[in-house]
Amino acid sequence: MEKKEWPLWEVFIRSRNGLDHKHCGSVHAPDARIALQVARDVYTRRMEGVSIWVVQADHIVASDPDAKPELFDPAEDKIYRHPTFYKLPDEVNHM
Amino acid sequence: MATNQEHTEYVLRIGDNALILGQRLSEWCGHAPVLEEDMALANMALDLIGQARMLLTRAGALEGEGRDEDRLAFLRTEGHYRNLTLCELPNHDFARTKVRNYLFSTFQVLLLSRLVGSTDAELAAIAGKSLKEARYHQQHSGDWVIRLGDGTEESHRRTQEALDYLWPYTAEFFAPAPGEDAIAAAGIGPAWHELEQSWEAQVHPLMVEATLTVPPRTPFKSYGKFGRHSEHMGHLLATMQYMQRTYPDTQW
């Protein structure tokens, strides 16, 4: 009998009052439907009003850590790109 | 008019199902095929124990003899248990556990959907809470029955075997129980035979999808809900009640 390895799924959850889905971990499951159920058991404790996304880990393309200099460093020395010099009115203090 | 005793028995039948199946599912803890399924089974066991606690508390209150959930769970002997025989059968393998969960939770969803409108307000509230859990159990186990039935040759064989083994016990779900008509007339809950058609209408298509053959009905009858249990029940209770019987009335 052939034993199939269950693929890995990455789990993203939006909490009841949350604005966006946050990555919270991963699960092994044979398909998306079961991955959702498992993610619910493991990560939400079945709090109602949450939204779950599962994505098969193979489908995620990550940036290369070795390419960090060319990808991210150039942003650091161009401070004129950063909108940090504006004086904000008090009303929008929490931006 | 339904008597207090009929009302108590009716609630006990529902509560004992949850308690005994909850006990069975908890036996899987740490033994499931994969970690994720271990969690799901424990989760469902906890749901069922939670339902049992509420229902046994309600039954104890109706009975009016000062028995709380613990007394009812731990100090009744098997002849006083009112659960369906199906719930007390050994887990055997993953296929049998999943098929049982599907057959039972489908029944439970139908029953609880009706109990939500019960004239017993407390029972209605318990049903409302439990129904959400039962729907999840039904979906989860139904998915697995399809997956296993329509899986490999070996998983198909085991799932068909599970269905053949469990099927005769499902006749008991719908067997008339004493006092049930009075319960139905008082609007407390349905007589369980009223649920048979809807149950069959859900179970058969799913089994077809799972490429399984539903066996024909046979004259076999089980009588758990009348207090006449299989040989497995005594062992289950011996394990479950050991501590309470050794040190009665301890605080825990």
Q: Which pLDDT tens digit goes with each residue over B151-192?
A: 999 999 999 999 999 999 999 999 999 999 999 999 999 999
Q: Is residue A1 scored above 50 in pLDDT?
A: no
pLDDT tens digits, residue range B205-240?
A: 999 999 999 999 999 999 999 999 999 999 999 999
The pLDDT of residue B104 is 98
Contact A37 B39 (CB under 8 A): no
The two structure tokens encoding residue B155: 């998983």
CB contact under 8 A, A37 and B153: no
Percent of chain A exceeding pLDDT 90 equals 35
Total count of domains within chain A: 1
Q: What are the sequence ranges of the domains in chain B?
A: 4-246
Q: Is B188 exposed, middle or buried, given 0-12, 13-18 or 19+ CB atoms closer than 10 A?
A: buried
| Cβ neighbours around B221 below 10 Å, total | 12
Contacts of B103 (CB under 8 A, 6+ apart): B86, B166, B167, B170, B203
A-to-B residue pairs, Cβ atoms closer than 8 angstroms: 30
pLDDT band at B82 (very low <50, low <70, confident <90, very high): very high
Q: Please report, for the domain that includes residue A68, its CATH number.
A: 3.10.20.520
Residues B110-150 have pLDDT tens digits of 999 999 999 999 999 999 999 999 999 999 999 999 999 99
Longest CA pairwise span in chain A (Å): 69
* CATH superfamily of domain region B4-246: Ferritin, core subunit, four-helix bundle (1.20.1260.10)
ipTM, two decimals, is: 0.73
By residue range, what is the domain housing residue A37? 8-81
Interface of B with A in 14-53 (CB under 8 A): 34-36, 39-40, 43
